[in-house]
Structure 1
């Protein structure tokens, strides 16, 4: 058989195209095949109906156009027979750490906690770490030279509570020294929350403040009459700078200085946090000098504070006079401001609503503001309750013989909330317990003076525990570093981790204790910290306010 030519020869006709393939045989009724037939014998009625319906659909495919209508009709028929009153309930499981379950955790762990006698005396063994480069010592250098002629007077209004006012005072000293100006004793702004009308000399030793700074910054308690005549003897008529928060020292040189030279007196109100944490060494030196050397509490406050320190050391004689201090922030205004939910039910909810409206009218009820208590707790922003503080300290190894000084205002619902803490630590003391009624009378109506007493007793404790942050613990940590060779001797709990642990009623005592001991050890390690950019010099005095002491110098100083 010969192959066909692709190109036909001349004279030959073109070959015909191949025939089309045969079509598949159609399904014909009556054929014995594997197809579905409603007429086959042995079929049930349901099977015959299904086969008949299928054959109709296959033969008349246009019926698929009515499929949506059939589906909708079926759904309507079903909805008509179902009850619409029954709504499926979707159970929402709260995120771990978002719910206050500390009382349940305490009830479970209490038996094991009281039976645990394995802990050593934590008050004597809590601080083990030493700085690898040696300890630190205060080294704030005072000037012994005379000051040049002043460029004018600077008057500031310090707002906030005790330690926010302290920030203003120290920053004012730094700014006045940098501008070669004379500082008028700062005025304390009356605040609706603290409601304390105290003046500078009521809280601090004014004469000591002026004399300590005399060769570095001029400080006076009065502006000369001939200058005040221009302002009708009214400081509110003096030009007031509205300075942005955290302004650099260059701003004062470029903007404030020309006005000072022109007017000879300027006013800055408000002044809290109006100077950047980062500044040249000369400015930092003045901050250190003001905070750690020049600012000393007034004689009455200092005397009572030192008396309470002596009483705490006397009562804790079995521990070598060592005691633990706690800054507990569970006052009504703090609980309200945090927007956290505890276990007080409807009464707590109503109390907090009133407190927010009283202290921050409209702040928490602005349109569009959403408050998520669970998220706040997960992020570690809720204040620790007295129960949580006690449970945490017991887990860290402090037994029920430990003497504790508690610095705080009036605790919210104290009869209920303080009971577990007193059960765990019966030797807990407050300034109201240590001092007589007569000793506290001059200070009871003044929140800043009462805070100054707390500050003094906490400063001299072997261990300081901070629970909520704020200016009080931050200043205290820095002051303790300045006193104790650079180590803050402060326990700073990881509140995010605590939120998870306190939200687990199934946790065991050994697991909980291990977590707390790790947290305590971490605070010991972080006791020595150097100031980083944007850190506060009032919390981290190294290296601006302190110098490193090597081991040989430390040995010589201890020998002498």
Structure 2
């Protein structure tokens, strides 16, 4: 856990001696020149008061913002997640400590604590009751016994090639770890296909390896004795496959050849797994996958610049051109913009079978109305996350019209902070994710990958308020239950969170 800054230490036994340095001295040759007792008392009290004021000023300077502004959770005793969140106010949560053991009581990304607000707008900022649910990743004895051998595997190696945006990459890596566990194989660091970044540029490799060392072995590359033909890569997994299918299909081949390459893992593995494998998914998503240090540092700096001014709401506006083309929904802009979308949609056969105007994203005006209906005041501070909107600034103008304090990462970043990542969409998305995770309220305009990732992550770090388009979910624990289509990293109750 991060350590808070300490006030200058003062030994209480030295304080009387400190006062003696300034106390009146008796002159034996001229007793009449000594101070009167009342003068001594007044001088001592003055020095004491000055010392208290000095130390209070130092404390205020070192520890701004004040703890009195932090909205504590409703529990009487605070969880390790909350205490880590509290300490992140004073010390950068991205600080590395490679020598310390990985603790599952704290997530890989620690959000800043929520803020309290008085007055008419207080209800909007109020955090939901987590009903006592906290992370619980206790694996069974059978799982832990098998881990002794699997975590030291040196003959079988699994290589996975992942693709897509940040959250598609994340989901595929989570499934890759589970598949490596099912096949009792060591996992080679995933290869990113079609992305401008490498795994190590997005995620912390050492933290990933160290967090999972009790579950699987993670290696940087294949040994020279296990070469594979990269020309033969193909998608070999249908949708919604259970663990026994994975083992029956690949274990014999892996055992004979020593290595296996899999691609196209996106949403292929069944969501309905054993409790141990569900917990492993949460362990990967919320603990092992930690953003690389430069990404964390920049994301945390921007989040602090939002947080220091008071509570804020993050809105993920999904207004990119490809989403409008894929859904066929009206953009909310002038007719000429809709004509452009329809023409491109008609030129791409893969979208012709897709029903238009279904599951449409909110445009900026609709998002502003939802935010106001949820109780946000016109001066609420709003952070906009998301890629370049179709229509540019015109697309987000309705939101800026309704709310006067609207900012983006480009407005908060200083000088050249974002310049190294201008063409790195995955890392820019990661920065938006860090700032959104620390927001007091999160509102997505579309139920896409980022919305689902934040729904599960905000629940896992203490059920931070989350407003959906239907307005029937405010961040309270949502159980996966027996829904076979619900992913545990979106709905971590009850496999990964329980009442303690």
- Fold shared, TM-score > 0.5 on shorter chain: yes
CA separation in 1, counterparts of 2:473 and 2:242? 32
1:140: Cα distance to partner? Answer: 5.2
- Structure 1 150/273 Cα, relative in aligned 2: closer, same or farther at 3 Å? farther
1:540: Cα distance to partner? Answer: 0.9
1:342: Cα distance to partner? Answer: 4.2
Contact 1:119 / 1:397 at 8 angstroms: preserved in 2? no
Q: Over the residues paired in the alignment, what is the CA RMSD in angstroms?
A: 2.3
Pick from 451, 465, 473 the counterpart of residue 489 of structure 1.
Answer: 465
CA separation in 2, counterparts of 1:371 and 1:259? 41
Aligned position for 1:225: 224
1:402 counterpart = 2:380: yes
Aligned position for 1:209: 208
Q: Which range is displaced more, 535-544 or 409-418?
A: 409-418
Contact 2:128 / 2:464 at 8 angstroms: preserved in 1? no
Q: 1:128-184 CA distances to partner (integer Å, 9 max, x unpaired)?
A: 5452xx332343559684635445111111122110111110111111112210111
Pick from 178, 183, 187 the counterpart of residue 191 of structure 2.
Answer: 187
1:539: Cα distance to partner? Answer: 0.3
CA separation in 2, counterparts of 1:462 and 1:488? 7
Aligned position for 2:324: 335
1:424 counterpart = 2:402: yes
Q: 1:452-510 CA distances to partner (integer Å, 9 max, x unpaired)?
A: 001101111111112211111111111111111xx25211122xxxxxxxxxxxxxxxx
1:542 counterpart = 2:497: no
Pick from 135, 138, 144 the counterpart of residue 137 of structure 1.
Answer: 135
Unaligned runs of 5+ in 1: 1-117, 191-195, 317-321, 495-518, 550-560
Pick from 349, 352, 359 the counterpart of residue 338 of structure 2.
Answer: 349
Q: 1:113-138 CA distances to partner (integer Å, 9 max, x unpaired)?
A: xxxxx94334433x35452xx33234
Higher relative contact order (CA 8 A, sep 6+): 1
CA separation in 2, counterparts of 1:155 and 1:464? 36
Pick from 465, 469, 473 the counterpart of residue 523 of structure 1.
Answer: 473
CA separation in 2, counterparts of 1:248 and 1:324? 39
CA separation in 1, counterparts of 2:372 and 2:366? 10
Pick from 268, 271, 284 the counterpart of residue 277 of structure 1.
Answer: 271
Paired residue secondary structure (1:245): coil
Contact 1:188 / 1:199 at 8 angstroms: preserved in 2? yes
Paired residue secondary structure (1:225): coil
Contact 1:123 / 1:324 at 8 angstroms: preserved in 2? no
CA separation in 1, counterparts of 2:240 and 2:255? 23
CA separation in 2, counterparts of 1:406 and 1:531? 29
- Structure 1 213/434 Cα, relative in aligned 2: closer, same or farther at 3 Å? same
1:385: Cα distance to partner? Answer: 0.9
1:253 counterpart = 2:251: no
Pick from 419, 423, 445 the counterpart of residue 423 of structure 2.
Answer: 445
CA separation in 2, counterparts of 1:370 and 1:481? 32
Q: 1:102-123 CA distances to partner (integer Å, 9 max, x unpaired)?
A: xxxxxxxxxxxxxxxx943344
Aligned length: 374
Larger Cα Rg: Structure 1 or Structure 2?
1
Aligned position for 1:382: 360
Paired residue secondary structure (2:308): helix
Aligned position for 1:555: none
Pick from 153, 164, 171 the counterpart of residue 168 of structure 2.
Answer: 164
| TM-score, length basis structure 1 | 0.63
- Structure 1 433/355 Cα, relative in aligned 2: closer, same or farther at 3 Å? farther
Pick from 237, 242, 256 the counterpart of residue 243 of structure 1.
Answer: 237
CA separation in 2, counterparts of 1:300 and 1:140? 32
Instruction: Map 1:50-129 to 2 at 5 A.
Output: 119-125=120-126, 127-129=127-129
1:315: Cα distance to partner? Answer: 2.3
- Structure 1 343/306 Cα, relative in aligned 2: closer, same or farther at 3 Å? closer
Aligned position for 1:471: 449
Q: 1:501-523 CA distances to partner (integer Å, 9 max, x unpaired)?
A: xxxxxxxxxxxxxxxxxx3xx32
- Structure 1 372/139 Cα, relative in aligned 2: closer, same or farther at 3 Å? closer
Aligned position for 1:114: none
Q: 1:292-311 CA distances to partner (integer Å, 9 max, x unpaired)?
A: 11110000000001001110
CA separation in 1, counterparts of 2:488 and 2:243? 15
Unaligned runs of 5+ in 2: 1-118
- Structure 1 523/332 Cα, relative in aligned 2: closer, same or farther at 3 Å? same
Instruction: Map 1:7-26 to 2 at 5 A.
Output: none
CA separation in 2, counterparts of 1:372 and 1:303? 41
Aligned position for 1:363: 350
Paired residue secondary structure (1:390): helix
Aligned position for 1:7: none
CA separation in 2, counterparts of 1:128 and 1:294? 27
- Structure 1 362/241 Cα, relative in aligned 2: closer, same or farther at 3 Å? closer
Pick from 290, 299, 302 the counterpart of residue 296 of structure 2.
Answer: 302
Aligned position for 1:511: none
Q: 1:174-213 CA distances to partner (integer Å, 9 max, x unpaired)?
A: 11112210111111121xxxxx321111110111111211
Q: Which range is displaced more, 454-463 or 335-344?
A: 335-344
